[in-house]
Amino acid sequence: MVRTAEKGFTLIELSMVLVIIALLAGGVTVGASLIKNAEIRAVVREVEQFRSAFNTFDLQYNGVPGDFAEAYDFFSTKPNCISAVNCNGDGDGKIEASAVNDTDESLKVWIHLVAADIVPGSYNGTAVLGVPVLGTNVPESKQGTSGYYAEYGTDSFAKNNVLRFGRPTGVSTIENTISPDDARNIDSKIDDGLPASGNVHSTTASTANCQDGTKYLIDKQVLECGLSFRID
């Protein structure tokens, strides 16, 4: 009986296979890193654009978007600004959240900015069971799981209007959606990289796994951070 010689892998061939596997794994890691960096840059760009939008509105109308008491006088022909009650804020300079749609200035912010042709899109100003909806009444971030919610006097900014980054879950509440390392990266690109100083803070919803009061805990691989950006 004639045996057919069985051909196995040589050391060189095995080495080549291992090299290919390593390259593929490295490519996946690099790809994931590129995606993450792109998401962080997108958030930074969005925050800067919204801050600029708030300043532009204030300069043009001498009022705070969402809080502007004369909005209906200017925007009555615009979509989602159908009455003075529906469109106007109370003019006290504070973006005040409310469970009642007609008095929820945190949602009127986006109606005013769109009506003034400062921000693109369409936001209806109506929460669903008291919960803001990303892309419907508040802007959704290109980061993919988060959006922006404006409010006065929160997240250790006791006397300022702020832009909160996360997933809104109700009136004045947001869900954490980013890691401590991502939070630090975003904070560093805009401010001082510290969670409780400057013009960028971690939100009060952020857990003990996010920051310790003086620094972001970048070794924690958990999505337990949110950010708050001062806008006035």
pTM of the model: 0.84
Q: Do 227 and 187 touch, CB atoms closer than 8 A?
A: yes
Q: For residue 121, what pLDDT is reported?
A: 93
pLDDT in tens, 217-231: 999 989 999 999 999
- Whether 156 shows a pLDDT value over 70: the answer reads yes
Dihedral-angle region of residue 146 (phi above 0 means left; psi in -120 to 50 means alpha; beta otherwise): beta
**Quick check: 14 pLDDT over 80?**
no
Mean pLDDT of the chain: 88
* Four-CA torsion 143, 145, 150, 152, nearest 10 degrees: -110
Per-residue confidence (pLDDT) for residue 25, from 0 to 100: 62
* Sequence spans of domains, the chain: 38-230
More confident residue, 24 or 10: 10
* Residues 67 and 105 sit within 8 Å (Cβ to Cβ): yes
CA distances from 163 to 88, 103, 139, 166 (A): 20, 18, 11, 10
Q: Give per-residue pLDDT as tens, 168-212.
A: 887 778 889 899 999 999 999 999 999 999 999 998 877 889 999
What percent of the chain shows pLDDT beyond 70? 91
186 close to 40: Cβ distance less than 8 angstroms: yes
User: Would you state the pLDDT for residue 207?
Assistant: 80
pLDDT band at 1 (very low <50, low <70, confident <90, very high): low
* pLDDT above 60: residue 73: yes
Closest-CA residue to 228 (of 35, 51, 37): 51
